[in-house]
Amino acid sequence: MSTSSNPIARMWRTILPRRGSVARASDRFQAGLGVLVVLLALTALPVAASFGSETYVRQQAQSAQQLGERTQVTATLLADGPAIMVNSRAGVIGNGEPTDATWMLADGTRRVGQVVAARGTLKGETVTIWVDRTGNPVDPPLSNAGVAIEAVGVGLGLWLGAVALLAACYRLTVFSLDRFRLARWQQEWFQQQDRKTHS
């Protein structure tokens, strides 16, 4: 591959032009800004990864705490769950809804309350639920997979946000430089025309 077709080589020659180069000061500024944007994007990567790692540690501790405070029990429905709804476009739709049920705690105490039952479930069917130490239904604890996905999402989201901001700043600067260069070119062109008219 020739160096003339290599964008990195062209950028480097623009920043540090050789003798006789036609690169303008604005060209060198734009090339230098491009290098700075790339370096800042690379610098933001470990920073974002650090935030993702901190999120992972924090969520792992929260997951361990929830696993210690919540237990799984089997609940028996005391009523039918919500009816199945059919849509001509999407087929079976709808989420579960609260339904009366009963469940037994580890100490033998029987509890009655509402649990989320899937559509189409019938009275007498069983569902697995999570309860806290007092026996009340709660959301499932954070899983290891959920913790990892959230940590990756936080780190990747921060880095992509930083890259998007840097790219927007770069494009805005290039737009301003293009307008400046166009104005200079028009001014030089008018000056050339004036010289031809008066010669």
This prediction's pTM:
0.63
**CA 173 to chain CA mean position, Å:** 26
Cα–Cα dist 111/105, whole Å? 7
Cα–Cα dist 32/168, whole Å? 16
Percent of the chain surpassing pLDDT 70: 81
What pLDDT is attached to residue 1? 46
Query: What's the rounded mean pLDDT across residues 38-61?
Result: 94
Cα–Cα dist 137/72, whole Å? 10
Please determine, for residue 14, whether its predicted confidence score (pLDDT) is greater than 70.
no
Indicate the pLDDT class of residue 180, thresholds 50, 70 and 90: confident
Instruction: Among 30-34, 55-59, 128-132, 172-176, name the one with the lowest average pLDDT.
Output: 30-34
pLDDT per residue over 125-146, tens digit each? 999 999 999 999 999 998 889 8
Pick the residue with more confidence: 54 or 87? 54
CA torsion through residues 45, 47, 51, 54, sign? positive
Please determine, for residue 104, whether its predicted confidence score (pLDDT) is greater than 90.
yes
Starting at the earlier edge strand, list the strands of the sheet with 97-104.
110-117, 97-104, 71-77, 126-131, 137-138
What pLDDT is attached to residue 23? 62
Please determine, for residue 169, whether its predicted confidence score (pLDDT) is greater than 60.
yes
Indicate the pLDDT class of residue 90, thresholds 50, 70 and 90: low
Two structure tokens written together for 9: 């080589």
Please determine, for residue 195, whether its predicted confidence score (pLDDT) is greater than 90.
no
Closest of 175, 193, 185, 194 to residue 24, by C-alpha: 185
